[in-house]
Amino acid sequence: MIFLPFLFLFVLIVLSFHADAMHGDGARYNEFANNLLNGFYSAPAPDINLWSGPGYPVFLMPFVFFKMPLVSMTLANAFFQYFSIILLFYAVKEYASRQKALFFSFLWACYYVSYQELYSISTEPLASFLTALVVYLVAKSFKSGSAIGFQFLLGVVIGYLALTKIIFGYVIVILLFISFLLFFFKIEPAKNKKLLFILSLAFAVNVPYLFYTYSLTGKALYFGNSGGLSLYWMSTPFEGEFGDWNNESFTANCGSAASALCNAASFAKNHQADIDYVSQFRGVERDDALKRIAINNILTHPVKYLRNCLSNVGRLFFGVPNSYIYQREETLVRFPPNSIILTMMIFSIIATIYNFKNIPLEIGFVVTLILVYLFLTTLVSAYPRQLYIVVPWLLFWFAFVAEKCVVIKFDMASDRESIGKGRADWRRNSAAVGG
């Protein structure tokens, strides 16, 4: 009940800012949901469209089937955000005191950066709920005597998260490899068997979708065809450009033809020839062509790519820098909460390394999830919304570090003795001066 006011706040935000129109990403998710209801997901070759994973469209299917009003889809976001707070609270409480569980859950509840997607038909509120559910199930799955049902649910949820945000598909593959290494070296074998089961199940959840994408593309482990454009922009070798994402008409930041943020002409000067070249291709072939150009840019200008990756870290946390765009007011809003997140993350990395031998495998698993996800995200164009979906994981980690790795001790008796001694010295000195 203590978090209930936030549900009212989230509902109020949705009702205040919801636009009863389908556009942008929301229109794409709605189209995919309609496709699923009609027995397919993507159009056949050559117009293959795997821009997004099917996780969110699957969730939208009942809304589309029953022709429910669009506001019902965004109201669901309010409940996703609310229940993510509760799940984080119970996850932290398994490893830390109730006071810390309340503190870090309130931090997530008050993390206003995440409010920006509440009134949109977008994947982020669902993904945030799923990441909070992951740490809750991690806490339940690795307790001694825990039922296998929690492990089963955890594997399914991680798998569904990958279908919702396809980058997590690659995270699962990397963590499976790491888990096999831990198994080979017999590191916490009992817990690692659970981890192998969970990750194998998470991958299995994605197998039907991967078989489907293979049938369309002939490519194994093919989660989507949106990565080529993102990697292309990330690989830009031109000075004054920082790897931020754009579309093929260079209008991603053009609210209108007269928008002060519109930078289409600046991008066209450097990229029109590449876009003209890839326009001869469609679907997966266009994605492959963009990747070829991007890889060539990276190999030819590796230092510039590394600089773009560094810029990407800035965009993840603060939304800057962006190519050909002057300062924006909303950038200032991100600095207070994300500066705290970044500082706590650096401190937690140091504390975790220092206490490495005492870190339970499941906490190491969550930390590895975070680091692998952020590493992969840094390699392609990223924005703050790609950070805040894993803030529940970060806060869970921070809470563990605060509870287990940090000791702040106040010796009140010693302090009183020091204060008393200081006062006595002051009186003696005052008497001497007066004499």
Residue 258 has pLDDT above 60, yes or no: no
Question: If we measure between CA atoms, which residue out of 152, 124, 125, 154 comes closest to residue 138?
Answer: 154
Quick check: helix, strand or coil at residue 92? helix
Confidence of residue 426 (pLDDT cuts 50, 70, 90): very low
> Average of pLDDT values for 95-105?
96
CA distance 37 to 420: 78
Confidence of residue 210 (pLDDT cuts 50, 70, 90): very high
CA distance 46 to 285: 8
Question: If we measure between CA atoms, which residue out of 56, 66, 9 comes closest to residue 30?
Answer: 56
366 to 128, 275, 345, 371: CA distances (angstroms)? 15, 39, 13, 9
Question: If we measure between CA atoms, which residue out of 405, 398, 397, 396 comes closest to residue 358?
Answer: 405
Residue 193 has pLDDT above 70, yes or no: yes
For residue range 30-54, what is the model confidence (pLDDT) as tens digits?
999 999 999 999 999 999 999 999 9
Residue with tokens 């189209």: 31
The string of DSSP codes covering 119-164 is TSS-SHHHHHHHHHHHHHHHHHHTSTT--HHHHHHHHHHHHHHHHH
Residue with tokens 């198994």: 183
Q: What is the pLDDT of residue 29?
A: 96
CA distance 172 to 177: 9
The string of DSSP codes covering 323-382 is TT----HHHHHHHHHHHHHHHHHHHHHHHHHHTGGGS-HHHHHHHHHHHHHHHHHHHS--
Question: If we measure between CA atoms, which residue out of 161, 168, 175 comes closest to residue 130?
Answer: 161
Confidence of residue 257 (pLDDT cuts 50, 70, 90): very low
- Residue with the bigger pLDDT between 332 and 171: it is 171
> Average of pLDDT values for 143-157?
89
| Mean pLDDT for all residues in the chain | 90
CA distance 236 to 274: 11
Residue 425 has pLDDT above 70, yes or no: no
Confidence of residue 435 (pLDDT cuts 50, 70, 90): very low
Instruction: Assess contact for 77 and 125: CB atoms under 8 A.
Output: yes
Confidence of residue 427 (pLDDT cuts 50, 70, 90): low
Instruction: Assess contact for 273 and 264: CB atoms under 8 A.
Output: no
CA distance 408 to 153: 37
Percentage, residues of the chain above pLDDT 90? 79
Residue with tokens 């050909």: 324
CA distance 226 to 224: 6
The DSSP 8-state label assigned to residue 46 in this structure reads T
**Structure-block tokens of residue 295:** 């890889």
The DSSP 8-state label assigned to residue 54 in this structure reads S
CA distance 338 to 147: 37
**Structure-block tokens of residue 13:** 């935000």
CA distance 370 to 374: 6
Residue 203 has pLDDT above 70, yes or no: yes
Q: Provide long-range contacts, Cβ within 8 A and 24+ apart, for 343-346.
A: 344/394, 344/398, 345/394, 345/398
CA distance 204 to 158: 11
Q: What is the pLDDT of residue 182?
A: 87
Residue 66 has pLDDT above 50, yes or no: yes
Confidence of residue 314 (pLDDT cuts 50, 70, 90): very high
> Average of pLDDT values for 181-201?
89
Q: Which segment of 285-289, 358-362, 385-389, 422-426 scores lowest on mean pLDDT?
A: 422-426
- Residue with the bigger pLDDT between 185 and 273: it is 273
402 φ/ψ angles, rounded to the nearest 5 degrees: -65, -35
Q: What is the pLDDT of residue 70?
A: 93
Instruction: Assess contact for 107 and 3: CB atoms under 8 A.
Output: no
Residue 10 has pLDDT above 90, yes or no: yes
Question: If we measure between CA atoms, which residue out of 276, 257, 275, 137 comes closest to residue 195?
Answer: 137
Find the angle CA(174)-CA(177)-CA(179) to the nearest 5 degrees.
110
Find the angle CA(289)-CA(212)-CA(275) to the nearest 5 degrees.
15
